Every structure is written in C-alpha cells, then in structure tokens.
Amino acid sequence: MAPNDTQAPKAGPLPKDPEKRRRELQRRKLERQAKLRAQRVAEARKRTAIIGACVVAVAAIAVGTVALWPSAKHKTTASADTASSSPSAASSPSAAKANYTITPKKNEGSWKTEPAMTIDTSANYTAKINLGQGAVTLKLDAKDAPHTVNSFVFLANQHFFDGVYCHRITTSGIYVLQCGDPTGTGSGGPGYSFKDENLTSASIKGGTYPAGTVAMANSGANTNGSQFFLVYKDSPLPANYTPFGTITGGMDVLNAIAAKGSDSANGPGDGKPVAPVIMNTVTATKN
C-alpha cells in the first residue's frame, strides 16, 4: 500500500520540549509528503512508459498492416514467400531499382459514404484498363459482388482511377499487380469502405486465387475501398479478398510488367514495379 500522511516513518523519539516537538513533527510530515510525491512521480513515469510502449507497439502493427495489403498489400495477406519454387530476388529482375517517383493524384478521400446502388445486377458489365504498357479488359461479376462492382463502376465513371499508378507488383509467392490507390502508398482510397462479398466463390476455394482473377485489396474484413489486384499467375491466398471479375484480355501485358520485376521494397519480389505502370484511363460499361 502506498504511504500516506497518517503513516509515520520509523524515527527516533520526539523531543519533550513542546516547540521542538512541534518543529520535529512538522519536519517529519514534510519528509513524508516529499517521499509520497516522489513515489507518485515515479509511478506516473512508469505508467507513461508502459502506455508509450503500447502505443509504439500498436503503431508498429498499424504500419505493418498498411505496408501489407491495402495493401493485397499482402496489407492483409498471405506471405509472398510461401512459394519456394519462385526465383530469388538475387537471380530475378525483381531485385532491380525503380528509378521514378509516384505522383499522387489529388482525389484521395473524395467521398464519405459508399455510392448508392445504381447498377443492374442482372446485367453484364465490362471494364477496360488502359495502361501505358497496353490494355487489360475485365468481365465484372455484378450478380455475386454487386456492391464491389457498383463501386468500381462509380469510380471509373468519376475518372477516379485515371492517371493513378499501380503501386505494387509481386513476383514471388503470390503474383499480382495492385492498383487503385491515388496516393501510390498502398494506404489511400476513395474515403469510404464497403463490405466483403463473394468470399465463398468456388473459384477461390482451396486457398488459391487463380490467374485471371480480379479482387479487392483490403486491410481487414469489410474495409474495401478503391484498391484492387489483378492476378497474373495462380496465387496462394486465403479467401479474404472479394473476387469481383475476371481478366478477359491483356494477360500478356501483365506478364510483361511482372517480367521487369519490382524494386523489392516490401521484400524479395514485392514492391513498386521497376517500370512505372499508370492507369491512363479506366472505363466500365453495361453490355
């Protein structure tokens, strides 16, 4: 129990003279108070140190999350070193440098809420991503991932994706090109999030996202925004990322981008594409 003013420390006998006795009692009281204050300060510093350590730990976890998937930022996901048959960074173009700076597009956080549903879930929707390296075409799954497709179509119609860099390519363990972050950091988005969908799809059962899958990147359950990834080779991933379409054209474009490798900033074979990959335009149409 912490000392208080009623608990006298061990000391010698008090003087018999009333005035000396009063002064001695006052001195002892001041000593007790000083000791109590010192103890309280020490305890407060200890609490602050503990809280500070916890904050640092939480911040480290948060940064790790951002560094991963939102980052298919593996920012959630499976480890890129799960495929032992993949080439090492030392013997692969993935160890090269990316000698360019990603220029952020000033539309991050433009909306506070998910857009209202405007798509026809019984209709067919397609999308076209015009990269500097060539076009990638998609078939969108409005029936099984209506909120995701609705958001993608909305953002495409708002030209949200136009001029945005694809900030991540993985060439070891998992094989994806990740796009859709206007800041180019792996942590940006449109300002809103929406729920996961289609996670029971037969296409991703067994822990593999097959080549040709288009899926949402996220930083946890129901945190979808604008970031998505294009799978150019079968990739071992848990069924945590909403699949919302398939690649119908441009796999050669994606493989050519992957062949140039990444700067491995996030680990071997995981980082910014060596050559800049920019979505010049993204369109989505109802067929």
Q: Distance (Å, rounded) from C-alpha 43 to C-alpha 106?
A: 47
Residue 234 lies in a domain: yes
pLDDT digits (tens, 9 = 90+) for 115-129: 999 999 999 999 999
pLDDT of residue 56: 35
pLDDT of residue 81: 35
Q: Which residues pair with 123 in a beta bridge?
A: none
Residue 36 lies in a domain: no
Strand, coil or helix: 181: coil
- Report the candidate in 81, 272, 98, 237 with the shortest Cα–Cα distance to residue 172: 81
Would the pLDDT of 151 be above 80?
yes
Which residue segment(s) compose the domain that 227 sits in?
Answer: 68-286
Torsion angle in degrees (nearest 10) through CA of 152, 153, 156, 161: 0
- Report the candidate in 169, 174, 125 with the shortest Cα–Cα distance to residue 148: 125
Domain count of the chain?
A: 1
Mean residue pLDDT of the chain comes to 81
DSSP state of 158: T
pLDDT of residue 12: 64
First vs last C-alpha separation in the chain: 76
Residue 14 lies in a domain: no
What CATH number is given to the structural domain containing 282?
A: 2.40.100.10
Name the band, by pLDDT with cuts 50, 70 and 90, for residue 231: very high
Residue 259 lies in a domain: yes
Report pTM. 0.71
pLDDT digits (tens, 9 = 90+) for 156-201: 999 999 999 999 999 999 999 999 999 999 999 999 999 999 999 9
Cβ distance 189 to 71 under 8 Å? no
In the sheet that 213-216 helps form, which strands lie side by side, from edge to edge?
Answer: 164-165, 278-286, 125-131, 134-140, 243-249, 213-216, 228-231, 176-179, 168-170, 270-271
pLDDT of residue 267: 92
Q: Distance (Å, rounded) from C-alpha 66 to C-alpha 180?
A: 15
Residue 35 lies in a domain: no
Name the band, by pLDDT with cuts 50, 70 and 90, for residue 64: very low
